[in-house]
Amino acid sequence: MSAPGCAETPSGGPRDEPACEFRDRAGPRRRPSEGRQGPGLQARGPDLRARRRGHRHDRQPGRRRRRELDVVRAKRTIAVKHATWLFADPHFGHESIIRMCGRPFANVAEMNQTMADAWRKVVKPGDDIIVVGDFAHRMPVDQLRKLFDSLPGNKHIVLGNHDGEETRELPWASQRDIAFVSIDGTRCVLCHYALRTWPCIRKGALMLYGHSHGRLPGNSQSMDIGVDVFGWAPLRLNQIKAHLATLPPLVDPEAGDDFENNESVKP
């Protein structure tokens, strides 16, 4: 679990930054001169002006667009209410991933069983678990559905490149391409693909991703949380934070936006 911002969810997600503002640059309305008004227009003029005044609120693009942004943010936000687990890149059913990523399994059946058992060991039925992409690949549909039903928890997914139609048709609690969620009071941006900058980066928001299977270095606020990095069990955020603390500090990619704070740059 917009022009992306820190949207607040019913469960208490982030919303410290103001919504994007769009200024109405339209000039004042032109009033037709009396010379151009025929008798009919003069008769209808007051009624038209009254109708325009009545719809003035709907004709303010700034407010309308801000409402639209709020709707988009809500669609990208995952509301979690219970213990939350994170899991990325299991690739259930994908035999070739064993060779490509050097996974220590003799065959795909052993890999599937190991990861499913690790999931069942830590995730309780009432917990939330967010899969950050690539849940399964080339797994027979009947086996995929049986596996999905056997895994406990309220299952959410942030879609990855290997999540085909069979995976998308499973009864997930939610599906997103990118998700904003507050976990244990920490803002998190979840996407299968790593982002170089993200909403609320200066307020400590974390950017957690998969896809790279441990080949893309992280930093103190962003890292690959896939199974090829952490092992075969879902993770709690405190486990991820402990690893983030060992990584190099984030170099703020937005520093150039703060001209007044960059004393080395002269006008």
CATH numbers and ranges of domains, the chain:
39-76 (no CATH), 84-244 (3.60.21.10)
Query: Model confidence at 252, in pLDDT bands (50, 70, 90)?
Result: confident
| CA–CA gap between residue 71 and residue 202 (Å, rounded) | 24
According to the model, what pLDDT value does residue 4 have? 45
C-alpha separations of 221 from 6, 19, 174, 260 in Å: 16, 23, 25, 25
Find the helix packing angle between 108-122 and 141-150, rounded to 10°.
Answer: 20
AA identity, residue 13? G
C-alpha separations of 135 from 30, 50, 164 in Å: 58, 57, 10
Q: Of 204, 195, 150, which is closest to residue 177 (Cα–Cα)?
A: 195
State yes or no: pLDDT of 122 exceeds 80: yes
According to the model, what pLDDT value does residue 262 have? 43
State yes or no: pLDDT of 149 exceeds 70: yes
State yes or no: pLDDT of 100 exceeds 80: yes
Share above pLDDT 90 across residues of the chain, in percent, rounded to a whole number: 62
Q: Look at 38 and 165; give whichever has higher pLDDT.
A: 165
Structure-block tokens of residue 8: 């607040």
The residue-averaged pLDDT of 165-192 equals: 96
Could you tell me which residues are beta bridge partners of residue 176?
A: 158
AA identity, residue 175? Q
The residue-averaged pLDDT of 163-170 equals: 97
According to the model, what pLDDT value does residue 75 have? 57
Task: State the chain's mean pLDDT as an integer.
Answer: 79
pTM of the shown model:
0.69
Bridging pattern class, strands 84-87 and 128-131 = parallel
Query: Model confidence at 36, in pLDDT bands (50, 70, 90)?
Result: very low
Share above pLDDT 70 across residues of the chain, in percent, rounded to a whole number: 66
156 touches 78 (CB < 8 A): yes
Going 145 to 87 to 208 to 22, the CA torsion angle's sign is positive
- Ranking 6-20, 29-43, 170-184, 242-256 by mean pLDDT, the lowest is 6-20
According to the model, what pLDDT value does residue 29 have? 44
- Tell me the per-residue pLDDT of 48-69, one tens digit each, with 9 for 90 and over: 455 555 555 455 556 665 555 5
According to the model, what pLDDT value does residue 13 have? 44
According to the model, what pLDDT value does residue 67 have? 58
Q: How far is C-alpha 95 from the geometric centre of its chain's CA atoms?
A: 29
